[in-house]
Each structure stands twice: as structure tokens, then as C-alpha cells.
Amino acid sequence: MILAIDAGNTHIVLGCLDGERLRFTARLSTDRKKTADEYALMFRNLFDLHQVDRGEVEGAILASVVSELTEALRAAAEIVTHRAPIVVGAGIKTGVNIKIDDPGQLGADLVVGAVAATAKYEKPMVIFDLGTADTMSVIDADGRFLGGAIMAGPRVSVDALSTGTSQLPHIDLDLPAKVIGTNTVAAMQSGAIYGHAAMVDGLVDRVEAELGKPMATVVATGGLAGVVIPQCRRKIAVDDDLMLQGLRLIYEKNRA
């Protein structure tokens, strides 16, 4: 059994996996001010809450896009499991053939998502991770990571509107009843949710046109996938556990 931690800009998702089976999963708010001891206490409490014996944990793995938190989370995982975790980064075996200009620039989250998706779904594929930032990764039929796109996520987009204009309010990302909003809040929600759904559909169209072939799989994960993807016109799989399963696979490739 292992502890897998995926640290994003807004949330930290962690889970305890016994093989492919998730014993529990949890979502914590990303707090850059918390110390290793504070995160360790939170992790320990989650084990207790879900009645999982920490003594059964053989190791841990961490992927983080929040550089200032990586060390605190690494130390917290070691405190809880009594084992130094694997940290996804340079020198870690992933099995992904990265074909971008500088493979060292590829974020840990994109690597983890690619590992999981290529192991589970038919290629070629497009992978979306919808959260604070929206990311798109393109994998060809031979499993090569070709590149992708990075966009502001729905929450960032509406917050930018609220702070950058004098008359637009801060809103919740609830699904509006229709695309044509009849008040300011509904219009902003429509732009954030239906607009991002149209963007996802449109990006896949352009990827297929650029590569000259249809995608066998389009899969999405991330905190906002469950809101945005049902509004898409394409068939897109939502896989909430994609990152945790990817971490498990990378752990298995790198355990001593």
C-alpha cells in the first residue's frame, strides 16, 4: 500500500492505494504557509478517519507544481510513513517519450497524467486537466508526448473579470440554466462553463486537423472536469482518479 500526493495550485489531492484499489482519497486546500508538521498532522488524521493502518504503507510518491510546498509535503509524507517518498522530477523513470523542445520543462502533473492515460486508454489521445489552470496534453499513436496547451481555468478567468473590471461581481461557478444569460451572474457563469466546454471541443477539433487523424480517446481530470465536461459536445471521459493512478504506476517503476 502506498500514499500518493498530487499537489496543485488550489488543491492537494492524496490517496492511499492498495494496488489499483483506492483505500481512500481526500482533497485539501493548498496552503503555502503550512509547515511539514502541519501537513503531517493532516495526513495522519486522514488515515485515522478512514481507518487505514499507517503501518501497512510501504512507501509514498509526490508530484507537485507548487515549488515552495514541495519540500514541506515531502517531509510530511516521510513523517507519516517513515519512508522517504519518491518525488516526480528529473531522473525519475516514467516510460513517457517526451518530444517537446525541452523535456525538462514538462510539469510533473502533465507527466503523471500521461503515464496514467496511456496505460488505461487507447491512443492517440488528448488529456485535459481542468483546475486553476487548464492544460491539454497530446499523445500520438506511438505513445509519444507531442506537447499541448495551457490556459487560464474557469475560476481564474472569472476572478480576473471581477478584479479587473469595476462592475462585475465575484461569483460561484454554478451551472447556469442556459447559455444565454439574462443577468450578469448568469452571463459570467455561462462564459466560464459553457465557454470552457466550447474551448475543449474546439481544441480537440484543431488537434485532429493538425495531426490529420481522429483521436481515439479524449479524457479529462481535475477539480472542474465534472462541471465543464458534461457541457461538451464531444464524447469525453472524466477520470477523477487519473493522477493518483499515474502516481502509483510511476512508484512501481521506481521502487527499489
pLDDT per residue over 182-227, tens digit each?
A: 999 999 999 999 999 999 999 999 999 999 999 999 999 999 999 9
Domains of the chain: 2-87 (3.30.420.40), 97-242 (3.30.420.40)
> What's the rounded Cα separation, in Å, for the pair 21 and 8?
23
Which one from 48, 102, 109, 129 is the annotated catalytic residue? 109
The pLDDT of residue 152: 94
The pLDDT of residue 241: 94
**Does this model's pTM top 0.85?**
yes
- pLDDT confidence tier of residue 90, bands split at 50, 70 and 90: confident
Answer yes or no: 142 catalytic.
no
Average pLDDT, the chain: 95
Long-range contacts, 172-176 (Cβ 8 Å, 24+): 173/224, 173/227, 175/227, 175/231
- Give the closest residue to 25 by CA, choosing from 245, 226, 253, 252: 245
Which residue is listed with cell 510546498? 69
